[in-house]
Amino acid sequence: MNTEPIKVWDWDDAPEEYRALSQNGGDEDWVALVPPHYSARYISWMESGSSFGCCSVYDYPLPDGSIVRIGAHA
């Protein structure tokens, strides 16, 4: 069983390569790296309208099956 955790950063602390994926224009709040074994699961605390992304959440799939998820307030 893969036990790699979901990693979450405040926007300013997130790795630059993940921040560079965003096309939101400055309203980003959170960045998460979701490992492949979680990518197909419903994660309620990362949905649009949640504290992770009060207005929108964007997914950016990576070649290894992971997803970079960015939450924004606009």
Per-residue model confidence (pLDDT) at position 57: 96
Residue 4 predicted with pLDDT over 80: yes
What pLDDT score does 3 carry?
Answer: 85
Give residue for tokens 């959170």: 30
With beta carbons less than 8 A apart as the criterion, state whether 41 and 47 touch.
no
**Contacts of 60 by beta carbon, 8 Å cutoff, 6+ apart:** 18, 21, 67, 68, 69, 70
Reported confidence tier of residue 2, pLDDT bands at 50, 70, 90 = confident
Q: Could you report the per-residue pLDDT of 15-59, keeping only the tens digit for each?
A: 999 999 999 888 999 999 999 999 889 999 999 999 999 999 999
Cα dihedral value 50, 74, 11, 26, nearest 10: 180
